[in-house]
Amino acid sequence: MATFKRLSIVLALVFALGLGAGCSSKKIAETEPVADTTESASVAAIDEAAQTISDGIVYFDFDKYNIRDEYRAVLQEKADLMKQYPSIRVRIEGNCDARGTQEYNLALGERRARAAYDYMVMLGVNPAQLDIISYGKERPAVEGTGPEVWAKNRRDDFRVVAR
């Protein structure tokens, strides 16, 4: 008789736990779409920020690496987004036009990338979010020669490498 009583208690507990589990999974199912929507919105916001960061190019004068006044706002916008989304990491790519030696242009491209890096760090971007590289004259944005072509190739590009 005692065995029957224990078996009845065990079955009652199993039944009660089964009902409780059914209810809790129902609650989880009701809250999942809200979490997915929030996560999707967050991913979309990060994607939009990453695109904005990648879009803005900073151009330089011939044989110069100082940030021109007209590009300070571009860098400010990038910095604000990177501070808002600290998971974003960016590689600043310094580029030059076709004139000059390879060695000279690699050094100038690095100074251009470093100038943007230093400015963004001054604006409050965590240095761990930024990397620099120089491509010198190896990656022209526009092929050809002449002042207009050269002006388009003297630039810093911003590549988002992590989100």
* Domain boundaries along the sequence of the chain: 45-162
Phi, psi of 15 (to 5 degrees): -60, -45
pLDDT for residue 29: 42
pLDDT for residue 31: 43
Enumerate residue ranges in the chain where pLDDT < 70: 1-38, 41
Q: Which residues pair with 158 in a beta bridge?
A: 92
pLDDT for 144 equals 95
pLDDT digits (tens, 9 = 90+) for 5-42: 554 565 554 555 454 544 444 443 444 444 445 677 69
The per-residue pLDDT for 37 is 53
Which CATH number applies to 45-162?
3.30.1330.60
Nearest Cα neighbor of 89 from 125, 113, 40, 42 is 125
Q: What is the pLDDT of residue 28?
A: 38
